[in-house]
Structure 1
Amino acid sequence: MKQLITIIVPIYKAEKYLDKCIESLVNQTYTNIEIILVNDGSPDNCFSICEKWKRIDDRIVVLNKENGGQSDARNAGMKIAKGKYFIFVDSDDYVSKDYVGDLFDILKANKADIAVGKMEKFLEGSSLESRQNDREYILTFNSTEAIQDFLYEKHFVTSVTAKIYKRELFDGIEFPKGKKYEDLYVLYKIVSKCNTVVYGNKPVYYYMIRRDSTIGTLDPVKNKDFLLAAKEVHTYVLNYCYTIRKAADFKLFQAAIEMFVHLPKKTNNYEQKSYKEELWEYIIKYRLQIVQDKNCRFKYRILALVSFLGQTILSRFFQFASRR
């Protein structure tokens, strides 16, 4: 008997994309699945779309709740889930027909706690370019190696999507309600419980970059969660797995420079000035290390190098590069 796998989909203002997402889930080659669609108080037609698909496929469970954010929706889904394994899918994304089966197969074959698949990104309004598959391979990590990998974003990123998890990894862990960058707050805690994390480079998850995505609408004045999450992970690494300190340094630098370049150029607000100074101190502290660390993403090595020319040049360079 195949194991029951629960797929949890938090849904909010996604009516344009939701049919494609759900269709990709109901057509999985691995059929023993439970699909929990959590309508998080969406003001559009998402609930009607969910109900339509529920009538089509009896493996679908629709949970309709007041808006509480993506974290709250995922937590609500986990509370009613029946599966021994969890998979998270965002409502504006879609997956390959072998998504569940491929992840479960490599999880079991490698006796892993988490299996990770390759994500392919595409911009909203554009079609996904067909790419020739690389030679398929599998990589295995212990918990410390896996944390290092996702902090550097080498093979897999800090999103909880494109992964399958043993249910027990979430015992005592919930997504933080009201937080953005909730994945970063949670993923290191889950991975730290693992003996083995496995990665397969076969593309299985298709991730759309929306124009109103978290980074695209980043307001560092109103929301400091990226920096706070990075600081929390940094503290954990220093205390429990110091050997990967440079990866945690990179994540803290990444958060600081992303916040910094999105701040208003001028402000008379003391709190904002103080925050800007704090971010700049992190940039100065780690920038030479980032420039020299070949594990860091190229974009941030360049930004670190440009920061030596001063705050104004850094901000102008970022704006110029973002328009290209």
Structure 2
Amino acid sequence: MQAIQHIGYGEISENIKFTEIEKPTINKDEVLIETYAASVNPLDIKVIKGKLKGLGKYSLPATMGYDVSGKIVGKGENVSDFNIGDEVYAYVDKQGSFAEFVAVKQNIVSIKPKNTTFEEAASLPLVSLTASQVLKRANLKSGDKILIHAGSGGVGSLAIQLAKAKGAYVYTTTSTSNVAWVKELGADRVIDYKTEDYKTIVKDADVVLDTLGNQYTEDAFKVIKKGGKVITLVGPVDKETANRMKLNKIAKLYLAWKRRKITKNIKLKSAYYSLLLMRANVKQLNEVTNLLETGKIKTNIDKVFPLEDALNAILYVDKGRTKGKVVIKMK
């Protein structure tokens, strides 16, 4: 079968290729999905550029991709919740969705929302699960104020909608060209970062979702209230996460040094700070399905690329200017 693989680390155009690989075999707890669509995420870019080598071992060449939608064409003997022909979608907890067929554990697969296309469904798993888990970790409640950075991005656009569904007041940042579009997602105050300084607008926020890192992570503490929460996707590793990663003492000391400014800010604001490492969660994905089918949230696709144009899809995401998600149509 045909697959898109990365063969080395570095420049994107030099390190991915179309490859013929063997069709996967499934074990007794897996389903075999014929891939109809898969989406590209910034995570894919980080993997290609070698930025995550320290967090996981990748045996190259490796099939790319984490989001998949398609039809079940095979199932293991222990699979009872799905039938051949079911239309499904999932976050693949290992690389491999940029392929004609994908083997996935049954306990992380969900039935595709009835009111979405395969392309729309493929745009959802990683970003919707990330946004859901951020809001859960922050214990966001009705009436809370949250700042969501990069509201036009994949995670940001879903987080806005999920936060509004919970009854929160949502601030978000975006560029001038995306202000009107982001307002349509339901944000209460859209901040044009090219003409406005969010730090003078957002005051005493309960939660900040940091999708940008670097100075934005530190500045998040300037806009939260005393006892507020900063949940980051890209900032320094917090102590609790470092412990869960089972790192050695030297690695933990190095990470403690890297977050020394964050630690100071946590103490000054009596704040909660956490780096979120998203995990597959079928219950949460089913909740997203329900929100979609009841019209409380919607998908946001920037562009759909055909399979033969997958390289340009990946390069487009690498530019960092997407409005919603980028999807590869596999079938």
When the two structures are superposed, what TM-score results if normalisation uses the length of structure 1?
Answer: 0.26
- Structure number with the higher helix fraction is 1
What TM-score do the two structures reach when normalised by structure 2? 0.25
More strand, by proportion: 2
Asked which structure has the greater RCO (Cα within 8 Å, sep 6+), the reply is 2
